[in-house]
Structure 1
């Protein structure tokens, strides 16, 4: 498909001079050339004009009008449209003014957010992974569109973006600036579905989860309530000292602040779902990962409420082993516990090679996220999850572990770089531990029995719980299902885990 003419969004005056600012017709800042609108959902279009003015919106074969209210706000909702790869024009008119948005496609729109591992670009990946250069050269993918929102924080929800958004068409000259995770996620979806894919990236490096949670969702747990109270007072030290709190370094870390500026202004826009990669800044040096599962649920439920979709799919990434700190094992478990929400899925990344806090292999991360979307949202028959602990069965000195997503059976395997995992039947399962009534954890022997794992220990003859891969950087975690996806770290009785951060 040839690229459509890329024009800058502009106000077109029909035979008159520039109107007064109060009478200026405006369209919400997320609407810009090269954007993607969500298919198969009502299409909201909104903006501002002189109070009482009639505003008409034209898209495809639809025309709809509204009257600007006493504050100048107007909005219309167009009927759902099927996916459309042809370049269309969105036109908004009021009196002698018109706004034209060119090169509009209709497909699936996804939010991508979190911190620096979501923000890490394809170009940054290419510096460490040679195969990425080939992907950049082959990235002539005009159905992929990316929008990066970099708004600074705000103490209150904003009605519009401070700076008009810019959408970019994916190509060899632009793809290096896109989120690596989001690019490989979107590329897989576009390949499988053959529809336009739009990604809105609102991530910000170094931030905890709190600034991305809507204010209303902080009412869901005592720790969150206290964080919001302290955040409203901008008491950074108080949030840091709070059990289950976070080391807030500046206003960008405070509750709701980035949701207010980056997501609230575009919350009316129709989207298919969201992907999320965060956790490092809730479990770093002198940071307390306790209660993260409640924060994760608050984020998901808060977004669903704000976006008007109680079933919004949200797929997130569990922390890797690379660059890990002492709080990471606990936070990984907290992330696993948050998967109890419907229409969510978690990608395990412990088996991906890397060094430092930004492992470069975002290819597998994006592909694994896409598997969840393809299976759950589009009914594709693709494996989408590695084994997830389901329940334990204690028989004397043995603990029998049962897993979901183990229908294909379990195996011991090794993953080398970007290659598919390779079964290594002669290798022993690693990183299983068992505990008894003393609460002390001991290394255990573990063997696969079809879809189950049997755990024993010469030290513990009356076991009460098992944990797997509970280490800062558990290299060579080698439990997989036969679909080639890794098992999540887990503790069979999470209440036995404790974390005592070195708070100030």
Structure 2
């Protein structure tokens, strides 16, 4: 490095250590860090390409049959927008030129791009799955899918939104030697989409293990609920104990848990990179030991609405995973209920996993999770005619000593079924519906007899003469949750009167 470049280099290092994107500090031509070799661009949507160069320089960008030009502004920023492209499995060059400088990005595909985020169950890799599931080893050996590309963003937190990633990402082509590093949920989701659609699939993974929902919510969305407002106020003071003591707050361990901090570093820099939608798997760190799941539905709404605003797409689909029974803590039943209540937002969908076997907080079967997420996308975004949800509580009718439960997504009819491992659920005719409870005004929940009648379930208990509500699978780790629709998708845990459910975590003094 020459002496003349040394001061600029020092400035760049200092800015990166402070979490500040260097913007116009470097006059060298560069592009946003998400734009690298082997990437996938979103089909049928405008494509934004942006970067930095010397102030006032002309920039020419070419991809396929389109060429766009721009002039950098007073901060050295430039951007162009391409008209939408059709899907293409052909790897093509993206060329950027300014004066004597040029950048060539190789092997660029056009297809469907999805964002994957959450905590450790989204981050859990295909390789980790293979250590517990023998069939995953076969999937790894066969994972030669040149049309599937993954990139992983591991940026540390930032107190302010970054304009660019601190370092460029690597887009990785799916091969047997690379797939073990991919998110398991995202891989099986992408593989299903790739097989059904026959177009390239790109996944951007921004998950981080052990984190609650708050750091992923953009700052602008914290004004949507009183608990969120208070969390942001305390977070700005980095008052970790105050957030923990706050009713509906969270047990923040360090700055990575603070409001907006991971959105600022991992998502704000890619907010102009077009994607089809998002898959999300999180909740464990909002409902564990001494963690408070109250108000989680409002946090989910803030997350989804905030992302849509920041990504400039008010209809961006967000499909999320309801927590399973494996490894559950005492707050998980309440949080599952909060997740269900948030599923009424338009263009969202919830995947139920209460029937998936496993041990510990990381059940290895991410195959069913990925496939169930893909069902939502295939049905809702790609026009495929297939069932996408299991039975979801709709309403109850009280008739004397019995309550009749009506469900959404029960059009194919309801059934009692059993799921063994990775196998599809199989209908059983000689078993009873389990995990139903009934209560009267006393609030004393009693085991109930539940019977399928057509597309409804009738619930009774002879000791409860004036019932007011039903709950299903409301337990830390309910066993043999066996209510399904005939598409083989499980019913979500629910309480027919959610206001009956309260939670009083043991918060610090």
Give me the TM-score of the superposition, normalised by structure 2: 0.95
Provide the residue aligned with 1:174 in structure 2: 178
Q: Say yes or no: does 1:401 pair with 2:405.
A: yes
Q: Say yes or no: does 1:438 pair with 2:455.
A: no
Q: Say yes or no: does 1:229 pair with 2:220.
A: no
Q: For 1:47 and 1:231, how far apart are their aligned partners in 2?
A: 31
Q: Residues 311-362 of structure 1, C-alpha deviation per residue, up to 9 Å, x if partnerless?
A: 0000000000000000000000000000110000000001011000000000
Provide the residue aligned with 1:371 in structure 2: 375
Provide the residue aligned with 1:463 in structure 2: 467
Q: For 2:49 and 2:444, how far apart are their aligned partners in 1?
A: 59
Provide the residue aligned with 2:281 in structure 1: 277
1:113 aligned to 113, 117, 129, which one? 117
Provide the residue aligned with 1:52 in structure 2: 56
Give the superposition deviation at 1:84: 0.6
Give the superposition deviation at 1:382: 1.0
- Secondary structure of 2:430's partner? coil
- Secondary structure of 1:340's partner? coil
Q: Say yes or no: does 1:479 pair with 2:483.
A: yes
- Secondary structure of 1:378's partner? coil
Q: Say yes or no: does 1:501 pair with 2:505.
A: yes
Q: Residues 130-165 of structure 1, C-alpha deviation per residue, up to 9 Å, x if partnerless?
A: 000010000000000000000000000000000111
1:167-316 matched pairs, under 5 angstroms:
167-316=171-320
Provide the residue aligned with 1:83 in structure 2: 87
Give the superposition deviation at 1:23: 2.3
Provide the residue aligned with 2:7 in structure 1: none
Give the superposition deviation at 1:124: 0.2
RMSD between aligned alpha carbons? 0.8
1:375-386 matched pairs, under 5 angstroms:
375-386=379-390
Q: Which moved more, 1:54-63 or 1:20-29?
A: 20-29
Provide the residue aligned with 1:15 in structure 2: none
Provide the residue aligned with 2:352 in structure 1: 348
Q: For 2:479 and 2:157, how far apart are their aligned partners in 1?
A: 38
Q: Say yes or no: does 1:122 pair with 2:98.
A: no
Q: For 1:477 and 1:36, how far apart are their aligned partners in 2?
A: 40
Provide the residue aligned with 2:414 in structure 1: 410
Give the superposition deviation at 1:424: 1.1
Q: Unaligned regions of 5+ residues in structure 1, if any? A: 1-19
Give the superposition deviation at 1:21: 6.6
Provide the residue aligned with 1:100 in structure 2: 104
Q: For 1:51 and 1:441, how far apart are their aligned partners in 2?
A: 69
Q: Say yes or no: does 1:427 pair with 2:461.
A: no
Provide the residue aligned with 2:4 in structure 1: none
Q: Say yes or no: does 1:153 pair with 2:157.
A: yes
Provide the residue aligned with 2:41 in structure 1: 37
Provide the residue aligned with 2:394 in structure 1: 390
Give the superposition deviation at 1:262: 0.2
Q: Residues 410-446 of structure 1, C-alpha deviation per residue, up to 9 Å, x if partnerless?
A: 0001100000101111111111011111111111110
Provide the residue aligned with 2:336 in structure 1: 332
Give the superposition deviation at 1:195: 0.2
Q: For 2:467 and 2:440, how far apart are their aligned partners in 1?
A: 5
Is the CA contact 2:27–2:52 (under 8 Å) kept in the aligned structure 1? no
Q: For 2:399 and 2:136, how far apart are their aligned partners in 1?
A: 49
Q: For 2:224 and 2:52, how far apart are their aligned partners in 1?
A: 34
1:74 aligned to 73, 78, 94, which one? 78
Q: For 1:374 and 1:61, how far apart are their aligned partners in 2?
A: 30
- Secondary structure of 1:286's partner? coil
- Secondary structure of 1:187's partner? helix
Give the superposition deviation at 1:22: 3.6
1:18-33 matched pairs, under 5 angstroms:
22-33=26-37
Provide the residue aligned with 1:3 in structure 2: none
- Secondary structure of 2:381's partner? helix
Q: Unaligned regions of 5+ residues in structure 2, if any? A: 1-23
1:449 aligned to 449, 453, 476, which one? 453
